[in-house]
Chain A
Amino acid sequence: MDYEIIVVGGGHAGCEAALAASRMHHRTLLITSNIKNIADMPCNPSIGGSAKGIVVREIDALGGEMGINADKSLIQIKMLNYKKGSAVQALRAQADKITYPKEMLNTLINQENLTILEAMVEDLIVEDNQCKGVVLENGKKIISQAVILTTGTYLKADIMVGDTRKREGPHGEKPSLHLSDNLRKLGFKIIRLKTGTPQRIDKKTVDFSKMQLELGDPTYHTFSFDYPPKYKIEEQVPCHLIYTNSKTHQIIKDNLNKASMYGGLTDITSVGPRYCPSIEDKIVRFADKERHQLFLEPESLYYDDLYLQGFSTSMPYDVQEQMVHSLSGLENAKILKYAYAIEYDAIMPTQLKQSLETKIIGNLFTAGQINGTSGYEEAAGQGLIAGINASLKLEGKEPLILKRNEAYIGVLIDDLVTKGIRDPYRLLTSRAEYRLLLRHDNADLRLREYGYQVGLIDEKRYQKFKEKQEKIKELQQLLKSNKITPTNQTLAYLEEIKTPLIKDGISLYDFLKRPEITIEHIKNFIDIPYSEDIIDQVIIQNKYEGYINKEIKEANKMIALEEKKIPSDIDYDKVNNLASEARQKLKEIRPTSIGQAIRISGVNPADISILSIYLKKEYANERK
């Protein structure tokens, strides 16, 4: 049996990559070191969150699995930023850590064209800088046309607690010992990163009466655009909020030198995520803060572990015991799993193309934590794109590259390949320039067409989407073509609802733009026979029209620059007058367009002018 595409790793990136490739009709092999860990959630028991929740919607719009799978396994869900604007709203769900992997494994097993193999990959087969397959730990070779690496934190993973360091992955799993060295031999720049996870607490030993209840929303939500909710509002499981106190802080200060990162271990060179500091980091860096917020989140309906969000640490076990017991409500708590820090190898993502294919080895793609990101959603988004692009490459088609104004996934990949990383990368809404365009509610309008084109969205789902598009247009047209005129009756009504009177006729569409006017007021004039999601979409586009247009205008400027392509064979040493830092950065990152070049730090407008002129000149020469 030979395979067209091999996916190495069965985490969130690997699952999406394998499903995308097999659904695009390519014979796909998913190799995982342990089938039990497929779609595992080794850290927080939640899917979504600010920006990340929008990524899950984007994955769903494109035909990926994460949204559907999260809907099947969630035990609590809420819309974040509900009181803020629709541009920044995002879903966050507590997903059951048993159900989520189980459902995903089920989907993988039932997927045509997809085979799962339990094995450890230690090397790649590379001929003429083309990846032709993988070599397993036992020396066995498996041939394929493309390989997607989604190895997560398993490359030379070290688990660190206090002064101990053990070469193992999450759950004490065996890590890959040689793959990252072999990648280095192929010419990849390997970096070492670090992350951590907090304690798990036994639910039965917690005094919840001392904690603040955090409930799910009283309305239904789904990540998926196609399927109805599968949970019951009243059956959602709560989370709890607690705070650290002066006693906790004293314990940490007294034991600081025992933490791996504060002297416990002296051989640490890796960089931890800025957005995810350990509790000792927080206490050192924000010394004047009297307390820090912590959440207790249920991991599953089927076992008793509670995830203590905010308490990640690399302290030794005995100190962790003291720390946990200092917390209100956890005085007698039993720690089921201790917190740890984990170090792992990753590749510098500037070595990737926008398609996630590596620049130096053809037909080799990478996605997820190996590219220096953190987070299930970031991994899944990249996995999906890598799976799609490996497939498109085999089909001889152009890759799917999402622009920064089209998707958070586009922002994520562009940031990685253009700017590189210093610490594990997490998506934030602040990383997106055009976030009013990248909303939770319009992910399907932005991306479903692409999903259909590549073949991940079937005819039925596509037709449903086309109908939605049609209805939005219809409703907009309805509001634009119906006018209100200053009749006595209308004027009396306007007065009653305290909105300025009109002198001339005005379309309902323009009338709706008034901040104080809602769809209920409009219903006073005409029937609105449309469902809530259609109405919401029209309202958002209506109320924020000015701002949306502003962002579209900005985005168009960016797109114009993206269309100024830089040929892949450009020799930057031949471009006279470039500043030396700019030349070095351009040589390293090799942007594909002027637009991408502008985003590289260290490349100044003057360098861009020089580059533009050079390109024009070379282009003219070629034409002759």
Chain B
Amino acid sequence: MEDTIAAISTSLGIGAISIIRVSGPESIDIVNKVFKGKNLKEVESHTINYGHIINNDLVVDEVLVSIMKAPKTFTKEDIVEINCHGGIATTQKVLELLLNNGCRLAEAGEFTKRAFLNGRIDLVEAEGIMDLIEAKTEKSRQLAINQVAGKVSNLIRNLRNEIIEILANIEVNIDYPEYEDIEVLTTEKIIPKINIIEEKIKKIIKESENGKLIKNGINTAIIGKPNVGKSSILNRLLNEEKAIVTNIAGTTRDIVEGQINIDGIILNVIDTAGIRKTEDIVEKIGVEKSINLINQADLVLYVLNNNEEFDQTDKEIIEKLKSKNHIIIINKNDLVSVLDKNKISSDNIISINTINEESIDILKNKIKEMFNLEQLETEDFTYLTNARSISILNKCLESIEQVKQAIDQNLPVDIIEIDIKEIWNLLGEIIGETYQEELIDQLFSQFCLGK
């Protein structure tokens, strides 16, 4: 059975609408998993359906979904096309979501290849694409390898080395159970090793996401209660850097409303209109809607007034920020301090005012520090920008979760190993190395065995 593939099939310019095409036996199932609207499994073939793409109940984008069931489709497989409206970053997110739910990122020319293999296009056309596929796959493979060359691919290679040492140790315990001299790798010994690997993978994901943010801009929400100084901060950022607030043309339902350029880093400020018009976001739209804004953002600037009491609303919202990149800005530090800082549970607190010109630098530096920008600029940091690699890393984290569960359930080490091996194979996919023989070589070079 073929797997189900997905890719963005419109060019990644600044178009109003991007289309993600999904093809394969599970395409309707997978899209249905992330779609809120009609049950796509039950709709007629060749229909267009309105709804939302959701991630853990949170709306990612408002979309139109075309369902085309086999065989009357381009590839002769079930095809789903998703019309996304939320701009490039959002489309990427939708694609990532599909990849995390079981799709594989299509290779160059793969839809066409399937169309041919399934007899949809004829030989003359096929001859034409032969060279194309050869050229493109080779090139894209090279490209993929080049892309991750350098620091990140070394990181992944090192990770794989750490994992293969664990694997070889487990294997040797299995294949040579009578060798008492060889360390027996028990689950207690695996846990700390796996934790280290998990931390490292998380770090790569985070840094890669940061890298991606640099490229695409950081979706930033500035929120806070009335009169805490949100628009003053925004204006300070704008004036100081002479950045321009523009509307991105053509987006029908823009969440990103303005861009601020700080030393080459782009902040896509979400809902600037809201900030400017009403000055009282939280009051007007309520906590629930603020949370919605938070969810769409890569960075949340939560503004507090130094001259006011810290209240329940603040507490609730800051609670929601825990898993997000966020900065708590205590504004108006030139006024008398009424706010009790001890009540704020966050490590990212800065204190500024908008009177003093230098004060805003504290904010800018904080943002830079947060996204590791210094490092990215100075060390020519190569990050995993493509959705495929990041979705593979996310799968690694899932497997790590499985490993931990299996350990919790006291499952034997060879069962636990199944998921560890999966992590090793997944990491190999990123850098294009997956070969069973490696493990066997390791086994013999790492341990002393024999008759």
Q: Which residues of A are at the interface with B, using a C-beta cutoff of 8 A?
A: 43-44, 50-51, 80-81, 83-85, 87-88, 197-198, 214, 241, 274-278, 281-282, 285-286, 289, 291-293, 295, 309-310, 312, 419, 428-431, 433, 435-436, 515, 544, 547, 550-551, 556-557, 560, 576-577, 601, 604-606, 609-610, 612-613, 616-617, 620
**B175 proximity list for chain A (CB < 8 A):** 50-51, 428-430
Task: Please name all residues of chain B whose beta carbon is closer than 8 Å to the beta carbon of A278 when the two chains form the complex.
Answer: 450
Is B415 a contact partner of A85 (Cβ separation < 8 A)? yes
Contact B440–A428 (Cβ < 8 Å)? yes
Q: Chain A residues near B443: list those with CB within 8 A.
A: 428, 430
Whether, in the assembled complex, B412 has its beta carbon less than 8 Å from a beta carbon of chain A, the answer is yes
B141 touches A606 (CB 8 A): yes
B117–A616 CB distance below 8 A: yes
**Contacting pair B126 A617 (CB below 8 A):** yes
One of B36-44, B129-137, B215-223, B338-346 contacting the partner: B129-137
Q: Nearest Cβ distance between residue A339 and chain B, in whole angstroms?
A: 10
Do the beta carbons of B409 and A515 come within 8 Å of each other? yes
* Residue from B177, B409, B437, B450 in contact with A50 in the complex, judged by beta carbons closer than 8 Å: B177
Contact indicator per residue, chain B 403-415, by CB within 8 Å of chain A (1) or not (0): 0000001111111
Q: Are B117 and A84 in contact (CB-based, < 8 A)?
A: no
State in angstroms the CA–CA spacing of A254 and B37 once bound together.
Answer: 80
Chain B residues, CB < 8 A from A310? 450-451
Instruction: Assess whether A577 is in contact with B134, with CB atoms less than 8 Å apart.
Output: yes
Given known contacts A436-B418, A515-B411, A80 and B137 CB-to-CB distance under 8 angstroms: no
Chain A proximity mask over B135-178: 1 for CB below 8 Å, otherwise 0:
00110010000000000000000000000000000010111111
The answer to whether B141 touches A50, judged by C-beta atoms less than 8 angstroms apart, is no
How many interface residues does chain B have, given as a range?
Answer: 35 or more
Query: Given the complex of chains A and B, what is the CA–CA distance between A600 and B367 in angstroms?
Result: 50
Q: Contacts A84-B414, A275-B449 known; A606 to B1 CB distance under 8 Å? A: no
Give the docked Cα–Cα distance between A556 and B3 (Å): 12
Given contacts A50-B175, A293-B181, A556-B1, 6 further A-B contacts (CB under 8 A): A84-B414, A85-B415, A312-B451, A430-B443, A613-B116, A616-B117
Q: Distance (Å) between the CB of A324 and the closest chain B CB?
A: 16
Question: Which residues on B sit within 8 Å (CB–CB) of A309?
Answer: 451
Q: A292 to chain B: which residues have CB within 8 Å?
A: 181, 448
A211 to chain B, nearest CB (A): 13
Q: Are B412 and A431 in contact (CB under 8 A)?
A: no
Find chain B residues with CB under 8 A from A281 CB. 450
**Distance in angstroms between the alpha carbons of A620 and B118 in the assembled complex:** 12
At the interface, yes or no: B444 with Cβ under 8 Å from chain A? yes
Contact in complex: B1, A85 (CB < 8 Å): no
Complexed CA–CA distance, A310 and B450 (Å): 6
Q: A43, A80, A293, A550: which has the most chain B beta carbons within 10 Å? A: A293
Q: Is B439 an interface residue (CB 8 A)?
A: yes
Residue of B nearest to A81 (CB): B177
Whether the pair A557, B133 counts as a contact (CB closer than 8 A) is no
Smallest Cβ-Cβ distance to B410: which chain A residue: A515
Q: Do A285 and B448 touch across chains, with their CB atoms under 8 A apart?
A: yes
With A433-B436, A616-B116 known as contacts, the answer to whether A84 contacts B174 (CB < 8 A) is yes
Residues in chain A near residue B133, CB distance under 8 A: 606, 609-610, 613
Which residues of chain A are within 8 angstroms of B178 by Cβ–Cβ distance?
A: 80, 214, 295
B415 near A430 with CB under 8 A, answer no
Closest B residue by C-beta to A50? B175
Q: How far is the CA of A550 from the CA of B113 in the complex (A)?
A: 28
Contact of A577 among B131, B171, B440 (CB under 8 A): B131
Listed by A's residue number, 23 A-B pairs whose Cβ atoms lie within 8 Å are: A81-B174, A83-B412, A84-B173, A84-B413, A85-B415, A87-B415, A88-B414, A198-B451, A289-B448, A293-B179, A295-B178, A428-B175, A430-B175, A430-B436, A431-B440, A433-B436, A557-B1, A606-B134, A606-B141, A609-B137, A610-B133, A613-B133, A617-B123
Q: List which B386-413 residues lie within 8 A (CB) of chain A.
A: 409-413
Query: A606 near B450 (CB under 8 angstroms)?
Result: no
10 tightest Cβ-Cβ pairs between the two chains A and B: A85-B412, A515-B409, A606-B137, A577-B134, A274-B444, A430-B171, A286-B448, A85-B414, A50-B175, A88-B414
Count A/B pairs, Cβ under 8 Å. Answer: 126
Residues of B contacting A84 with CB < 8 Å?
A: 173-174, 177, 412-414
A276–B137 touching, CB < 8 Å: no
A438 to chain B, nearest CB (A): 12
Max chain A C-beta neighbours (<10 A), residue from B141, B179, B409, B436: B436
How far in angstroms is the closest Cβ of chain B from A306?
A: 14
A617 surroundings in chain B (CB, below 8 A): 123, 126
Instruction: Please report the C-alpha to C-alpha distance between residue A45 and residue B410 in the assembled complex, in whole angstroms.
Output: 36
Kindly state the separation between the CA atoms of A419 and B451 in the bound complex, as whole angstroms: 25
Nearest CB in chain B: distance from A439 CB, A: 11
A195 CB → nearest B CB, Å: 9
Closest B residue by C-beta to A92: B178
A281–B436 CA distance with the chains assembled, in angstroms: 25
Q: Are A612 and B181 in contact (CB under 8 A)?
A: no
- Distance A551 CA – B1 CA, assembled complex (angstroms): 15
Residues in B whose Cβ lies below 8 Å from that of A241: 180
- A568–B240 Cα gap in the complex (Å)? 74
CB A297 to nearest CB in B, in angstroms, measures 10
A340 to B126, CA, bound (A): 61
CB neighbours of A197 from chain B (8 A): 451
Interface positions, chain B 46-74, Cβ under 8 Å from A, are none
Chain B residues, CB < 8 A from A83: 412
- A410 to B134 CA separation, bound complex (whole angstroms): 33
Interface centre among B113, B138, B175, B437 (most CB of A within 10 A): B175
**Assembly CA distance A550 to B422 (angstroms):** 11
In the complex, which of the residues A43, A430, A544, A550 contacts B451, with contact meaning CB atoms closer than 8 Å? A43
Inter-chain contact A312/B450, CB cutoff 8 Å: yes
Q: Which residue from A275, A557, A560, A610 sits with its C-beta under 8 Å from B450?
A: A275
B123 near A88: Cβ-Cβ < 8 Å? no
A51 / chain B contacts, CB cutoff of 8 Å: 175
Q: Would you call A576 and B415 a contact (CB within 8 A)?
A: no
CA of A286 to CA of B182 in the docked complex: distance in angstroms?
Answer: 13
A550–B398 Cα distance when bound, in Å, is: 14
The 0/1 profile, CB within 8 Å of A marked 1, for residues 99-124 of chain B is: 00000000000000100110000010
Say whether B174 contacts A276, CB under 8 Å. Answer: no
* A613, B126: Cβ atoms closer than 8 Å: yes
Least distance between A411 CB and chain B CB atoms (Å): 10
Smallest beta-carbon distance A547→chain B, Å: 6
Q: Select from chain B the residue with minimum beta-carbon distance to A599.
A: B436
> Are A610 and B134 in contact (CB-based, < 8 A)?
yes
A144 CA / B126 CA spacing, docked (Å): 50
Can you name the residue of chain B whose Cβ is closest to the Cβ of A212? B180
